[in-house]
Amino acid sequence: ETGVTQSPTHLIKTRGQQVTLRCSSQSGHNTVSWYQQALGQGPQFIFQYYREEENGRGNFPPRFSGLQFPNYSSELNVNALELDDSALYLCASSLAGSSGANVLTFGAGSRLTVL
């Protein structure tokens, strides 16, 4: 089975720009969660998608938005980038309704630098 893949792995943007990060979930998984991890910190929950709908959201402003597609892949969009948005963005997939429903499989992340 293939794991979670994210793209791009690294990118640099300037303040005010917009960014789209992409994630392909692990084969057989139907739920995608996005996390932001600042240097030296634990991952912070942004939101979760299930059946193409947002299924929970953390303490992030509306300029963080997402999509889930019928093949369960997902996008994270961030508008009006700020310097503090510089972080590693992690995508994690899981299978809702299974005995291991809450076990997240993480991708390697997209490292965003905002200048």
Q: Which residues bind other proteins (CB under 8 A)?
A: 4, 33, 35, 40-45, 48, 55-56, 58, 90, 102-109
Give least dist CB 106 to other proteins, A: 4
Q: Which of 73/105 has CB closer to other proteins?
A: 105
How many CA atoms, within 13 angstroms, populate the side-chain half-sphere of residue 29? Answer: 29
Give least dist CB 47 to other proteins, A: 8
SS3 47: strand
Cβ atoms < 10 Å from Cβ of 2 = 9
Q: Which of 15/73 has CB closer to other proteins?
A: 73
Give least dist CB 110 to other proteins, A: 11
Spatial contact of 64 and 54, defined as CB atoms under 8 Å apart: no
CA diameter of the chain: 43
Q: Which of 16/112 has CB closer to other proteins?
A: 112
Residue 87, C-beta contacts closer than 8 angstroms, at least 6 positions apart? 36, 37, 38, 39, 111, 112
Give least dist CB 16 to other proteins, A: 28
Q: Which of 17/54 has CB closer to other proteins?
A: 54
